[in-house]
Amino acid sequence: MIFLPHIYLLMKWKHDLIFDFFFHLYGSASYQYIHIVNTLTSILLLCLYFGVLCLLHFMPSGKNKSSLLGTHSNASGREALPPRLKIMDGGRKIIKLCFWGILAQPFLYLFRLYLYPLSHISGNLLWPLLIDGLLTFLFFYYLILNGSIRILSTCRSLGVWKRVLFFCWVLIPVLHLLPLKYLCRKAKIEYDAECCRFENQKQRDGAMLCASRYPIVMLHGIGFRDLQYFNYWGRIPKELVRNGAIVYYGHQEAWGTIENNAQIIKETIQKVLDKNHCDKVNIIAHSKGGLDARYLISGLHMEDQVASLTTISTPHRGSELLNILNKLPDGIYRLVSSLFDFTYRRMGDQHPDCYHASKQLSSGFCQDFNEKYPDSPKVYYQSYASIVKHTLGDNLLSIPNLLMFLAGASKNDGLVTAESAKWGNFKKTFISTGRRGISHGDMIDLKREDYKGFDVIEAYVEIVSELKAMGF
């Protein structure tokens, strides 16, 4: 494939071969044959060239496999994949082909100079050589543009702003080569993850792994609300429901205190119990939602209505970041808090209290909280944590992560240390095989992205399926 851009040089070599062949057979009388054969073979080469060019543009080929989690998709499985994934993977293959083609160009021209030294490049060959260079550039440019557009239009993990930025970037010749590695890596990770999920769905067809005995109530953390058009939990609830789970949300306030939020959750759970004609629920809580749930159980005496509590990245022993922020002058802290209250009151919070809600995440408060509200023996408690491997692992949490690192809390997810997240039956610490690690936001699929060696959607399916197996 990489020889195809050199169609003009191929024609020159072809002409020399045809001339030598017929001249030796027929001598000077062969010129009419040479002209006819040369014209016909030129037409055939051009048809072959443009045929293969169209094939590469519209039907990129190659083996298809999913290597993220060590599984492979067969041919029949790929045929059933959504067209979006096929287009995205095709774009990646086109760019990969261009990459190897570009690397091969110096060797092709060296081979050309070996056959025809510089002393032989006269006027009759110089123009074909220049045209060949231009054709090669255009060939790879439009192939790369094709592959980039395929990825940008189908890769969901890129987001709107990245799509616009990279699209403008790939329109610039030469500079368009810079973002290719990033685009291909994003496409490969998403394709591999989706293939794995597709295979899992086929194997689980009708298995209802997440059809737990009790409904699931999911509680968000601080600073967020359960919005209709932006799910705090990303793609997770949809997959749980697909596998048989009944999912509800706590609808507590973004900046409500633990006490106030727990009262709201209590009312929500009562509605869930009445609607489903059951006597208990399973709670899955992220970040501060875990403290809200613990107060709900022990402070509001809801232990008979809660079967299990699963906390994810909850600062049970406080957040080192809040310990740092508490050192700010109280006047400045209250001013910033009032601005948050003003904003979130217009977003739906009835009683926002950023000042006290954030103070409740300090180590001192959590220590008193843990002593005052011990766990109920009637409820099963389990917890999970995650770790970001370096300070720039998650750009949204790079500054908090750096502050915590400087304070000596190296093993954290950007907001909460792994040690603070441990409570009850501690199950595991999530961490990817890549250099990035798993952040506080990654545990709720905040960016809707897939990471090498970690599938957050599958992690929650595993959590709920284990609860089901335990009788919850």
Residues 219-273 pLDDT 10s: 999 999 988 778 999 999 999 998 999 999 999 999 999 999 999 999 999 999 9
Ranges assigned E (strand) in 1-71: none
Residue pair 314/249 in contact (Cβ under 8 Å)? The answer is: no
Distance CA 204, CA 185 (A): 28
- Write down the pLDDT at residue 152: 86
Which residue from 445, 413, 350 is spatially nearest to 156, judged by alpha carbons? 445
Residue pair 443/233 in contact (Cβ under 8 Å)? The answer is: no
The strands making up 216-219's β-sheet, listed across from edge to edge, are 247-249, 216-219, 281-286, 306-312, 380-386, 425-430
- Write down the pLDDT at residue 327: 86
Residue pair 283/308 in contact (Cβ under 8 Å)? The answer is: yes
Which residue from 364, 210, 388, 383 is spatially nearest to 289, judged by alpha carbons? 383
- Write down the pLDDT at residue 75: 40
- The predicted model scores a pTM of 0.73
Residue pair 294/396 in contact (Cβ under 8 Å)? The answer is: no
Three-state DSSP at 249 gives strand
Which helix (H) or strand (E) covers residue 12, if one does?
helix 7-26
**Phi, psi dihedral angles at 300 (to 5 degrees):** -100, 10
208-469 CATH: 3.40.50.1820
Burial class (CB in 10 A: 0-12, 13-18, 19+), 100: exposed
Distance CA 93, CA 103 (A): 16
CB count, 10 Å around CB of 146? 18
Distance CA 447, CA 449 (A): 5
Ranges assigned E (strand) in 40-95: none
Distance CA 225, CA 460 (A): 20
- Write down the pLDDT at residue 3: 44
Distance CA 72, CA 77 (A): 9
Q: What letters, b where the CB count within 10 A reaches 16 and e where it falls short, cover 443-472?
A: bbbbbebbbbebbbbbbbbebbbebbeeeb
- Write down the pLDDT at residue 109: 65
Give me the residue label for tokens 């997770």: 236
Q: Domain map of the chain by residue range?
A: 4-198, 208-469
- Write down the pLDDT at residue 24: 53
Residue pair 456/196 in contact (Cβ under 8 Å)? The answer is: no
**Phi, psi dihedral angles at 383 (to 5 degrees):** -145, 160
Distance CA 13, CA 313 (A): 67
Distance CA 455, CA 196 (A): 10
- Write down the pLDDT at residue 450: 82
Structure-token pair, residue 107: 């060797």
Distance CA 304, CA 379 (A): 8
289-334: pLDDT as tens digits: 999 999 999 999 999 999 999 999 999 999 988 888 888 899 999 9
Residue pair 287/222 in contact (Cβ under 8 Å)? The answer is: yes
Which residue from 443, 311, 277, 314 is spatially nearest to 379, judged by alpha carbons? 311
- Write down the pLDDT at residue 60: 59
Distance CA 266, CA 40 (A): 83
- Write down the pLDDT at residue 232: 93
- Collect the ranges in the chain with pLDDT lower than 50: 1-5, 7-9, 11, 14, 18, 29, 62-78
- Write down the pLDDT at residue 380: 97
- DSSP at 285: E
Three-state DSSP at 245 gives coil
- Write down the pLDDT at residue 68: 37
